[in-house]
Structure formats: structure tokens, C-alpha cells
Amino acid sequence: MERAGEYYSVSEIFGENVFNDAVMQERLPKKVYQKMKQTISEGRELDLATADVVAHEMKEWAIEKGATHYTHWFQPLTGVTAEKHDSFITAPMENGKVLMSFSGKELIKGEPDASSFPSGGLRATFEARGYTAWDCTSPAFVRQDAAGATLCIPTAFCSYTGEALDQKTPLLRSMEAVDKQAVRLLRLFGNNTSKKVTASVGPEQEYFIVDREKYLKRKDLIFTGRTLFGAMPPKGQEMDDHYFGAIRERIAAYMRDVNKELWKLGVSAKTQHNEVAPAQHELAPIYATANVAVDHNQLIMETLKKIAGRHGLQCLLHEKPFAGVNGSGKHNNWSITTDDGINLLDPGVTPHENVQFLLVLTCILKAVDIHADLLRESAADVGNDHRLGANEAPPAIISIYLGEQLQDVLTQLISTGSATHSLSGSKLETGVKTLPDFMKDATDRNRTSPFAFTGNKFEFRMVGSQDSIAQPNVVLNTIVAEAFSQACDVLEKAKAEDNFEMAVHNLIKEYATEHQRVVFNGNGYSDEWVEEAKRRGLPNITSMVDAIPALNTEKSVKLFEKFGVFTKAELDSRVEIEYETYAKEINIEARAMIDIAGKQIIPAVIKYTTALATSLSAVASACGEADVSVQKELLMEVSDLLSDTKKALAALQDVAEQGASMEEGRAQAVFYRDTVKSAMDALRAPVDKLEMLVDKDMWPMPSYGDLIFEV
């Protein structure tokens, strides 16, 4: 553990536990290194002989870092990572010694017993085998922790027949799709030099930090990651400067350790304090290739949790750990960039590039408008239901924020068919008479939009804090690939007929006109927007259960199959898994509530009423004429609430049992959402009132105030 006052050089430790390009270049024979580079940059298959050499060097390097085991590190559909550790040790030789070995085959392919991971029926139990395949575009790393050091190899996870059982496989497929279509589009604009277009992602991660000892006294936090009971602290979200100062010291030491750990793993963390909610913070890495960013985000979440323990803290990644206090999300910053450094979302410096930019932009408008349901679904998880569609932002309605400048350009295009002036400052010329000259306006800031253009990237702000960012990026990559592909179909034909310029203009105007309804630059948190969005016909999907069906609509199947990202069977399986996940998680919450109310809260309240009654009769008998009406009133009030609690508990028990006995699927998920959750709310209400009445010393768990303000 890093202590205050110990210093180290960031550049020295950065990536020290990563088998990165520099390490490969240094350790691999030149030919092998070149083959690896080709495999990584061009997606070529790796032959076994080369893999053997890479595996050997990787093992030697890992052993130098103290590694005894290796694991194929993968991301099944549980939202977290999974791994199965194997040691490098071979069978003992005749002299009783062992060798440490690691073959190319072991590097490339693994066969974890996969039957316990969700497959949604894709993998029948008699065919439980799944396999993991090395994703050599995300570097291997050594993780050091209490279990020792382990060589972790990022992999994709598939069924024996090749169906994706994980987050990574479709992500890699979607990256290929957007690459192919974007290159096609670039060629139309005369770019013959860029070879590859890559989706880049920079996810900003929000989280809460609480004291671990207090955390351990909250069974709800332990079992479900969020508080199932808890009255709002009298202070609400206002900060207490005194406590805030104290938080800073302890959190600063924690963040310092988190950074160091992440830097060693090659994750370029830059930590910052977030002041929206007490005890809430944010960590953002510098953006990376989408699949690496997804892996790194998993490492960030793991590291945040692991390091917290060392500081006597607990990291809460749940989207809504505390009712009434701001929740946590993830801002998924997304852009597409060529291998020679051109960001397709950058308005650019030449007129030519600006036309291309407007086409890219309007293609994205179209993609987001047509597939708003899929984007919304990609941000759906059980915890995020407390943010999206609740009284908190971002709203569940997908809309795009463009900013004043771009909006003006679009408005001109739509209303007059051409745009001839620009709102501000030094212009960038488009060189096309009918297209506007403009400049990018990076000063625009809108924090309430779920999908905001921020200068040279889009920021998708709906994603939940504990969810994988794979799915949102799968959807983004694929829907944009589709829009590009459709634009290219039109433009390639026009180009052959020597009518490219006019065709581009028409297409930009057409997309802007047809999909302008998805653009909204106002306050996304307001009730007026909900009304306005309804008028515009935009979907407002307020729960995960209602978001799930978007995954396998005819439109979705057509989209994903066309670009080879998901088969229908894969989509159907994901739908099944999501309903199951929803029902399971709510069931766990319900059972935790039943347990806490029955074993902790009701006994504590009874103790309190007993103490009240004892004092009441003692006071009454000692001084007969004393006024005991206050004690009486309190006793009555507490007893009434106790009886409400008892009734609500019985009702919740009843419906939870009903839910658990239902067949898995949509009907069960709907039952959990509509019936079980209401019963949970009905139990929480009297308990939260009781918390305000019962002697604090007798209340069986730390309060919101204790958790949030006294870290």
C-alpha cells in the first residue's frame, strides 16, 4: 500500500504489469513480433508456431512479475468478469521437479466449464462446453493481489458452436462493422490513405465511497449493493464543510492508491472529485480503442472495490445506493477515428472535411432516431431503473444535443434547403454553395442530454455505473455502421453517375429533415420535455422490463444480422437472460428486505416499545399526576407503524414466494416489477418512518447520515 509521502515516477510504473507493445518488441524475436503486430492491426489469424513463441515469452515475463498462474479473463453475461485459474506447473518429472510451461494453444484457446454462466438456452446443459478465445488486441496483464500474481489474458467467450456468450464477441464484431462502412464512406470523399477506422471510448465512472465498518452493518448493502431502507438525513445533499474536509484526506489516500494500481495495469486513470452527491466521486481514464476501454472499465471497477478494502472503505458501484440522493452513472464518450488520426466527428479544417462531417453527423442523427429503443435498452440494468425514468437524470427518452451552432446549421438546411451563414466567429468553409460554413463550438455545455455532441465526440450519458459498457458500444457501432452503409449505397451510385456533390447535399438535408425530431437542446430533466417528446413520437421507456423487447424486434434482428454482430438466436438468448436477471435481482432484494425487517427491524422496534412502556408505567406510578401523554402518543405511533410493518412484511413474503414459483420469462419479470416492487415500497414506508422515531442507539443499522457524511 502506498503511504502518503512515498513518491514514485508515474512514467516508470505506467503499464509495468502489461504485456504491451514495448515488452513484445523487446522480448519477441523480430519476425514473431512483426507477425503479432500484423495480427493485431489487421485482424489476421495467428499461426500456432508464432503463438507458441509468444506464449513462452509471455510466461517468462509473467513469472518475473511473480505470476504462478494464468487465466483466460472473460466477460460473461453476468455484467462482471470471470476467470478460471490454471498454474503454469506441468506434471512432475522423474526427478520430482516441475517445469513451468505455457503453450500457444493454452494462450489462444481455453475451455472453462461454462455451464454456470447464463446462456439463455443457447448452450444445452448436455453440451455445457464453451470456449474462450484470446483477444490479442487487448494486451495481457499481470494482476497482483492477495491470491498472488496471475497472468490475465483477455478473451472472448463462445459456445462450442460459436454463439457469443459474452460481451466482447459482439463488441469485436461491431467494431469490424463500423470500420468497414466508415472506410467505405471515407473512400467516397477521396480518402485512399486511411486503412482502418476504430471506435474509441472514454468512460467516466461514478461511484460512492462509504466506511467499511458501517457498510458491514448494512445487510442490504452487502446483499444488493443498495440501501433497501433508510430515511433521508436532515441535511439532504448540502455539504457539511467540516466533514467534507475529513473525507478529503481519507479519500485522497484511497484515490492515490487506485491511480497507482491502475497505472501499473496500463489504465490511464485521471481521478477527479465529483461534488454532486456527498461521498460520490468520479474517475475517468483517457479514451482508448473500444474493446480496450471496455476491459479497462472492468479493471477500474474491480480496482475501485479492491483498494477500498485496504483503506477500511467500501466502494458502491450501484446506480442508486441511496434513495433521494443523486445516483451514479457512466458517461460513455464515443468517437470514430482513422488509423492515421482523423476523427470523423471532428468538423475538420477544410471545406471538404466539413461536408464529410455533416454527413457523418446526420447519419448519426438518423441512426439514433431509428434505433432509440436499442440504445435505451443498452443502458438498461436493474439498478439503472432507479435513475432512468425516475425523478432523476438523464431521462429515459433518447434525444441528441447538438448545441446552438450546429443546430443553426441544421435549421437553415431544413428550412431553406441551403445554409449560407454561420452563427459565430471564424468560419470553416464547406466549399459547397448549399452547405453552411461554420466552426465547431466546444463551449456548448448541456448536462441534461442523454446523448450530447461535445465538440469531437458523442457522450452517451444513460449508462449505469455498474453495468458493462460493452452493450452501449455494440449498439452505437452497429447502428452507425448501418447508417453509413445506407448512405454509401446512395452515394456510390451517384458518384458513378458523376453526381456526388448534389447527392451528398440532398442526403444531408434529407437525414436532417427526417430525423430532426430526435434533436433537443433544452432541459432534458423538465416535465415539459416529457410532454414535448410524446408529441414528437419519441419513445419514453421507463423500465428495464419494457426496454428488453427492443433487442429482438424484427428491426433489430435485421440490423444485427446484416452486420454479423448477433444472430437471431443470440438476441433471443439475451432477451431471456435479461428477464431472468431482472427477476432474480428483485427477488434477492425482496428476500433481503424480508430478512432485515423480520430479524433486525421488528425486534429493535419491539425493544424500543418495551422500553417506552416500562418508562411510561414507571413514571406514572412514581408520580401519579405527571403528564405522560407524550410517551403515550409516541408509544401509540410506534405501535401503529410496527403493525403496518408486520402486515407489509407478510404481504411481501407472500408475493415474493409467488414470484419465485413462476416460470422464468417476461411474465415473471413483469410480476416482479409491478407486484413485488410495490410490496417492497409498501414495507419500506413504515420502516423509514420508524427510523425517525426510534432511539438511534436501538436502530439496528447505520443511518444515511452516518453512511454519507461520516466517511
Residue 659 Cβ, how far from ligand ADP at the closest point, in Å? 40
Nearer to ligand ADP, 346 or 580 (CB): 346
Give kind and range of the element (H or E) at residue 691: helix 677-693
Using the structure block, give the residue that is written with the C-alpha cell 464512406: 185
Rounded to 5 degrees, what are φ and ψ at 395? -70, 170
Q: Determine the interface stretch with ligand ADP among 15-23, 109-117, 198-206, 557-565 (rule: CB under 6 A).
A: 198-206
Partner whose footprint covers residue 700, from ligand ADP, Mg ion, none (CB < 5 to 8 Å by kind) = none
SS3 content of the chain, % helix, strand, coil (to 5): 50, 15, 35
What the block records as the C-alpha cell of 700 is 439496528
Q: Which of 210, 246, 308, 252 is nearest to 3 (CA)?
A: 252
Q: Enter the DSSP assignment of 146.
A: T
Which range in 48-56, 226-234, 280-288, 422-430 contacts ligand ADP by CB under 6 A? 280-288
Among 68, 144, 191, 343, binds ligand ADP (CB under 6 A): 343
Residues 261, 257: Cα–Cα separation, whole Å = 6
Partner from Mg ion, ligand ADP, none binding residue 343, C-beta < 5-8 Å depending on class: ligand ADP
Rounded least distance, CB 274 to ligand ADP, Å: 10
* Span from 175-183, 284-292, 308-316, 511-519 in contact with ligand ADP (CB under 6 A): 284-292
Based on CB atoms, which residue is closest to Mg ion, 282 or 377? 282
Q: Look at residue 286 and give the partner it binds from Mg ion, ligand ADP, none, a contact being a CB closer than 5 to 8 Å depending on partner kind.
A: ligand ADP
Question: Shortest CA distance to 118 belongs to which of 64, 73, 80?
Answer: 80
Stretch that binds ligand ADP, among 75-83, 329-337, 541-549, 620-628 (CB under 6 A): 329-337
3 state SS of 311: coil
- Classified as helix, coil or strand, 131 is strand
Residue nearest to Mg ion as judged by C-beta position? 331
Separation of alpha carbons 464 and 328, rounded Å? 7
In the list ligand ADP, Mg ion, none, the entry touching 297 (Cβ below 5 to 8 angstroms by class) is none
Q: How far is the CB of 451 from ligand ADP (least distance, A)?
A: 13
From the list 200-208, 317-325, 462-470, 679-687, the region that binds ligand ADP by CB under 6 A is 200-208
Of 335 and 449, nearer to ligand ADP (C-beta) is 335
In whole angstroms, how close is the CB of 393 to Mg ion at the nearest point?
A: 13
Q: Measuring CA to CA, which residue among 165, 171, 135 is closest to residue 473?
A: 171
400 or 701: CB nearest ligand ADP: 400
Closer CB to ligand ADP, residue 198 or residue 703? 198
Rounded Cα–Cα distance for residues 452 and 204 (Å)? 14
Q: Which 417-476 residues touch ligand ADP, going by CB under 6 A?
A: 456-457
| Burial of residue 632, with CB atoms counted within 10 A of its CB: 0-12 exposed, 13-18 middle, 19 or more buried | middle
By C-beta, is 83 or 204 nearer to ligand ADP?
204
d(CA 617, CA 640): 19
User: What's the rounded Cα separation, in Å, for the pair 71 and 80?
Assistant: 15
Q: Cβ of residue 204: shortest distance to Mg ion, in angstroms?
A: 5
Q: Are 294 and 470 in contact (CB under 8 A)?
A: yes
Residue 333 in contact with ligand ADP, rule: CB under 6 A: yes
Q: Which is nearer to ligand ADP, 147 or 286 (CB)?
A: 286
Task: Considering the complex, state which of residue 282 and residue 437 has its C-beta at the smaller distance from Mg ion.
Answer: 282
Shortest Å distance, C-beta 589 to ligand ADP: 32
Question: 629 exposed, middle or buried (CB, 10 Å; 0-12, 13-18, 19+)?
Answer: exposed
Identify which of residues 204 and 373 has a Cβ nearer to ligand ADP in the complex: 204
Provide the 8-state DSSP code for 599. I
Q: Which does 456 bind (CB under 5 to 8 A by kind): Mg ion, ligand ADP, none?
A: ligand ADP
Rounded CA separation 291/337 (Å): 14
Among 19, 74, 117, 287, binds ligand ADP (CB under 6 A): 287
Per CB under 6 A, 274 contacts ligand ADP: no
> How far is residue 318 CA from its own chain's centroid?
11
Q: Are 223 and 592 in contact (CB under 8 A)?
A: yes
Q: How far is the CB of 443 from ligand ADP (least distance, A)?
A: 11
Q: How far is residue 391's CA from residue 369's CA, in Å, rounded to a whole number?
A: 24
Q: Using CB under 6 A, count the residues that bind ligand ADP.
A: 14
Q: Which of 106, 135, 204, 467 binds ligand ADP (CB under 6 A)?
A: 204
DSSP letter string, 147-216: TEEEEEEEEEEEETTS-B-BSHHHHHHHHHHHHHHHHHHHHHTT--S---EEEEEEEEEEEEEEEHHHHH
Closest to ligand ADP by CB, 112 or 394: 394
Measured from the CB atom, the residue of 293 and 413 that comes closer to ligand ADP is 293
Q: How many CB atoms lie within 10 A of CB 174?
A: 29
Residue choice 76, 278, 285, 659 for contact with ligand ADP (CB under 6 A)? 285
State the residue number with the nearest CB to ligand ADP.
Answer: 202
Asked if 652 and 671 count as a contact pair (C-beta separation under 8 A), the reply is: no
Among 50, 335, 468, 703, binds ligand ADP (CB under 6 A): 335
Write phi, then psi, for 540 (nearest 5 degrees). -125, 90
Closer to ligand ADP at the Cβ: 227 or 297? 297
Judged by CB under 6 A, the stretch of 279-287, 517-525, 595-603, 696-704 that binds ligand ADP is: 279-287
Whose cell is 446549421? That residue is 409
Which stretch in 328-336, 370-378, 495-503, 519-527 sits in contact with ligand ADP by CB under 6 A?
328-336
- Min dist CB 301 to ligand ADP, Å, is 15
The distance of closest approach from Cβ of residue 270 to ligand ADP in the complex, given in angstroms and rounded to an integer, is 8
Residue 280 interaction partner, one of ligand ADP, Mg ion, none, beta carbon < 5-8 Å per kind:
none
| 173-to-473, 490, 705 alpha-carbon distances in Å | 11, 24, 47
Please identify, using beta-carbon distances, which residue of 283 and 363 lies nearer to ligand ADP. Answer: 283
Residue 355 DSSP class: H
Sites of contact with Mg ion (CB under 5 A): 331
C-beta of 189: minimal distance to ligand ADP in Å? Answer: 20
The amino acid at residue 439 is: M
Instruction: Compute the distance between CA of residue 616 and CA of residue 664 in angstroms, rounded to an integer.
Output: 52
Does position 202 interact with ligand ADP (CB under 6 A)? The reply is: yes
3-state secondary structure of 357: helix
Interface residues with ligand ADP (CB under 6 A) are 200-202, 204, 284-287, 333-335, 343, 456-457
